[in-house]
Amino acid sequence: MLRKTGCEPSFRISDEGWAEGAVRCPSTHSDERPAGSPIDLLVIHNISLPPGEFGTGCVQRFFTDRLSVDEHPTFESLRDLHVASHFLIERTGTVTQFLPCTARGWHAGISSFEGRSRCNDFSIGIEVEGTDFCPFEEAQYAALVRLARAIILRYPIRAVAGHSDIAPGRKTDPGPFFDWSRLAVPEILGCGVSFPFFKACGLTI
């Protein structure tokens, strides 16, 4: 575990799995994790609704069943979908939490990691507002590091992966503009957390 440095994380995960310091926007798109399942994987996604548009509030409404498919032509593909990640990091760095970390969120879909299928069972999902086609904001990386550190301090996280790592060929996020090296900081690497992206690219940190 990390040594206490006197600079505690700005997000603290309660016993119930809620992050103090995050905006709470509860969703029902979850269920119980299998008994005895560890919470040991962080999955990074990107999302924007409508595609390529930011700060619309549509992601929040989508994750909480309040999005009308009539709002935008592209939303027809979302009809009858019930999904939610645990967290969303907006372009401003604001962090919204939809599900307690203890719940099994419906974010990964058909997936596997290191021989284990059904990644929803043992992962926490973090959506970073963005697309595969543009850089993310400095404020988002800063918030992600603080949030990831808080989660790592609470749960036995041993790896961070992209949605594309656990659902290759089906998903591409967080995409080529996501800078994985921004997570290569002592607060995270000091816990011995691995990054499949680093290994795949032969990148040494």
Residue positions annotated with a catalytic role: 127
Q: What is the dihedral of CA 92, 160, 182, 95, to 10 degrees?
A: 10
Name 128's Cβ contacts closer than 8 Å, sequence gap at least 6.
Answer: 44, 45, 46, 47, 88, 89, 136, 140, 144, 174, 178
Q: What does each C-alpha distance from 54 to 80, 115, 148, 167, 178 come to in angstroms?
A: 23, 35, 22, 25, 16
Would you put residue 16 in left (φ > 0), alpha (ψ -120 to 50) or beta?
A: alpha
